Structure 1
Amino acid sequence: MDFVDFPAMGRADLRGLRITIDTAFREFTRAYGETLENLFHPIQVLLIFIENLLINTPWIIVLAALALMIWGLSRSWQIVLGTVISLCLIGYFGMWEDTMRTIAMVAVCTLIAVVIGIPSGILMARSDRANSIITPILDMMQTMPSFVYLIPVVMIFGLGKVPGVIAVVIYAVPPIIRLTNLGIRQVPADVLEAADAFGSNGRQKLKDVQLPLALPTIMAGVNQTIMMSLAMVVVASMIGVRGLGQPVLQAINNQYFTLGVMNGLAIVAIAIIFDRATQAYGKRLQKHLEAVHG
């Protein structure tokens, strides 16, 4: 057999393997697709509820509530003023509804990422074996092209909100897992020894010592999760997720420069608002903890 025959044989074997895997996945979606849809239905209900709440509530009330939330996080009038001006401009240029849909999507995805990410990070910090297993998975999640996430979720759930949420969460959850793990592992050994001296068990050390000291680092993970969720908005619009991403996608397809730039700037504005607010909150936590333990 000539050496040049091997590539052709390899391609044939690979094609057979692909067909087998694709067939098995299609059978899986037919058998369990409805069950999985029912499992994720509460996420759709939550997202629709938040969307309707933000869209149907008078804009002045939503604006005031968002400004109050940003003030609670940042305690900075400059950030609050920037938030109010940005949202007023967004409303003036007719992007209010899409912006509210995007904020609802980011809020739900961040909530799910926090619920998944913090316990996973705690597990990694407390178990070197779990750390060695989960770290390669996170590496794959962060390096895999974001479009690839859309393929399996669309095959299972079709187009709509739920596959968009799942794809965004997969893309955005690694930072909070990594930084939760890092924050807990960076708690000084002498602090843990002092906790042991006072008779604290593992659960008490985690709740009263490790998590409070790791909180600024965890907040940095939340910040990065929010940023990555917003970065995924345009990609998620390809599978029917409504929001600021759809006009951007429409502008790309039809070469509408102004439409694309305006909605892109709206995404940037939302990203800057949440970035500055969460960073300011993290700094406040850091100063508070330094004062308490200093």
Structure 2
Amino acid sequence: MFPEFFNTRPLRIWLDDGLTWIVRNWGDGFEAAAYPLLVMLNTIEDWLLALPWWFTILALAGLAYGATRKPALPTFVIVGLVFMGMMELWEDSVKTMALMISATVTAIIFSIPLGIVMARSQIVRKIVTPILDLMQTMPSFVYLIPTVMIFGPGKIPALIATIIYAAPPLVRLTDLGIRQVEANVLEAAHAFGASPSQRLFGVQIPLALPTILAGVNQTTMMALAMVVIASMIGAGGLGYQVLQGIGRLEVSRGIFAGLGIVVLAIIFDRITQAYGKQLQQQIGLSGGR
């Protein structure tokens, strides 16, 4: 047995009581602050559900063809999504897409500006990097405890937990992309009289876009990886079908829902990667920076 140097129970009680106090006194404020996230998620979900199934499939297939200019990926999109519909997983797939899109959009809104600030400030990078390390290494179940205590089971804690889990790669890659812009390029822009904001938006961000898009790709994949865990607290979607398969010992339900998650992951991964490669070729970075 490891020796007990001091009693940790008071510390644990203090942490639990502190969170209870926050929920009791600030819970309504947190719910009001998170309400726009719920509105966004419900709006995207309702909008996707209102679209005809064939229109959604053709739209994604069109995006796939525009990204690759080859028939292989659009064919996979059509076959994969039709398969999900035939397995009676269409509505759950749409709900999963809505959660993924909402989490990715929110992560983009917050992560890209934070990554830019990190790239421009060594102090901010030193402060934020350990926080990102903690966010990426902390088991995702741990996020659910305080969010469920504050918001209760439902879509909001599921979305917040997904954002926390998925955002770090985009922050890191935005920071990396901005910092990797060559110094002589910035010096040339400065010599032509460009202001710091003009150098940022006219030089650094365009040159860093392929790296930033890689971060968007990773964030999208990590958001999809959270769907099963998020379903435990009310997110629904394909993850809930997997949980039902476990609870009822229905192998077919779990397998088909799992395949649905894989199909969505492949579709969005290949599309975002292909658009990233297109952008690299357009700005002359396909050979590496």
Tell me whether the two structures share a fold, i.e. TM-score over 0.5.
Answer: yes
Name 1:157's counterpart in structure 2.
151
In the alignment, does 2:260 pair up with 1:257? no
1:233-269 C-alpha deviation (Å, 9 max, x unpaired)? 0000110111000011111222221111111011001
Name the counterpart of 1:118: 112
Structure 2 residue identity aligned to 1:152? P
Instruction: Tell me the equivalent position of 1:269.
Output: 263
Distance 2:277 2:213 in 1: 9
Q: How does 1:27-176 map to 2 (within 5 A)?
A: 27-176=21-170
Structure-to-structure mapping, 1:229-248, within 5 angstroms: 229-248=223-242
Deviation at 1:186, TM superposition (A): 0.6
Q: Give unpaired runs (5+ residues) of structure 2.
A: none
- For residues 64 and 204 of structure 2, the distance between their equivalents in structure 1, rounded to whole angstroms, comes to 27
Q: Cα gap change, 1:70/1:5 in structure 2, threshold over 3 Å: closer, same or farther?
A: closer
Q: Whole-Å Cα distance in 1 between the matches of residues 2 and 212 of structure 2? A: 54
Render the CA deviation track for 1:47-91: whole Å, top value 9, x for unaligned. 111111212322112222222333344444321121111101110
1:222 aligns with 2:219: no
CA distance in 1, matches of 2:246, 2:70: 37
Cα–Cα, structure 1 residues 126 and 67, in superposed 2: closer, same or farther, change >3 Å? same
Contact 1:74/1:278 (<8 A) preserved: no
> Across the two proteins, how many residue pairs are aligned to each other?
288
8 Å CA contact retained: 2:63, 2:271? no
Distance 1:88 1:192 in 2: 49
In structure 1, C-alpha distance between the alignment counterparts of 2:146 and 2:53, rounded to whole Å: 37
Task: Look up the match of 2:191.
Answer: 197
Distance 1:5 1:187 in 2: 51
Alpha-carbon distance in 2 for matches of 1:163, 1:103:
17
Q: Considering only aligned residues, what root-mean-square deviation do their CA atoms show, in Å?
A: 1.9
Find the aligned partners of 1:237 and 1:245 in 2 and give their Cα distance: 5
The structure 1 segments of at least 4 consecutive aligned residues displaced by more than 4 Å after TM superposition are none
Q: TM-score, normalised by structure 2?
A: 0.95
In the alignment, which residue of structure 2 is the partner of 1:289? 283
* Partner Cα distance (2:193, 2:17) in 1: 57
Name the structure 1 match of 2:205.
211
2:14 pairs with 1:20: yes
Whether the aligned pair in 1 keeps the contact of 2:229 and 2:239 (CA below 8 Å) is yes
Identity across the alignment (%): 50
Q: Which runs of 5+ in 1 are unaligned?
A: none
